Structure 1
């Protein structure tokens, strides 16, 4: 019985070793994952609802193959929201202009999630209402 279990285990190991062939360079390029550091917004950023801002990220270590499915989404309390702020841009440009949504509740618990090859989240920042901006709050 022990011999049968040992033989089965060795056969399974041998089969997995044969099927685990090296990844070709072409396949490896497809598997590149890049999570660029978001530069702005950061913890000291304050956006006003309805105004335009640039979301920026570091492109210095970008791989050769980058996803074309880039998008910027709004996060709240560390969670992804349904709000897409931009999509369909080239991640290599390092920035995209967005309009801050007017239908959010002002607060200091917002973040940006940059999607492409991988999701990357900014530091939390604040969004204020136009009235708060006028009053300097």
Structure 2
């Protein structure tokens, strides 16, 4: 009995999946705007506000995901720190506040939209005051 129920289920599943016509997708492009700031040599201090900036001069007509997110990366790992979220990737810049993190010269911002673009390495230091 188990075998016949299994066979019946698999036959029904195959008929359902096999008969479904694939809907063609509209052409879409992955938008990969390069991060312009922070750049190599930049030093941020905890608590400061900065405009993360990217080149939005040549977006494709069809962007897969226009909603942006900026996260902080240290070394080889993207941290769970979200610097900005839920903004249009077409803005070209967004203001962020430097979070309280360990000092280091191996930080990057990661701009997410269609893909993840890393800034060059930069430094975050303690309070600049």
Shared fold (TM-score, shorter chain, > 0.5): yes
Unaligned runs of 5+ in 2: 1-23
Segments of 4+ moved more than 3 angstroms: none
Which residue of structure 2 aligns with residue 27 of structure 1? 26
How far 1:27 moved relative to its partner? 1.8
Find the residue that maps to 1:33 and give its secondary structure: coil
- Kept in 2, the 8 Å contact 1:68–1:88? The answer is no
TM-score calculated relative to the size of structure 2: 0.77
CA deviation map 1:46-84 (0-9, x unaligned):
000011100000011211233133100000003211001
Which residue of structure 1 aligns with residue 55 of structure 2? 58
Which residue of structure 2 aligns with residue 112 of structure 1? 109
CA RMSD of aligned residues (A): 1.8
Which residue of structure 1 aligns with residue 90 of structure 2? 92
Which residue of structure 2 aligns with residue 14 of structure 1? none
Unaligned runs of 5+ in 1: 1-23
Q: Which is helix-richer, 1 or 2?
A: 1
Q: Which is strand-richer, 1 or 2?
A: 2
- Kept in 2, the 8 Å contact 1:42–1:125? The answer is yes
Number of equivalences: 107
How far 1:116 moved relative to its partner? 0.3
| CA distance in 2: counterparts of 1:43 and 1:100, whole angstroms | 17
Find the residue that maps to 1:93 and give its secondary structure: coil
CA deviation map 1:9-68 (0-9, x unaligned):
xxxxxxxxxxxxxxx6x6212xx1011110000111100001110000001121123313
TM-score calculated relative to the size of structure 1: 0.72
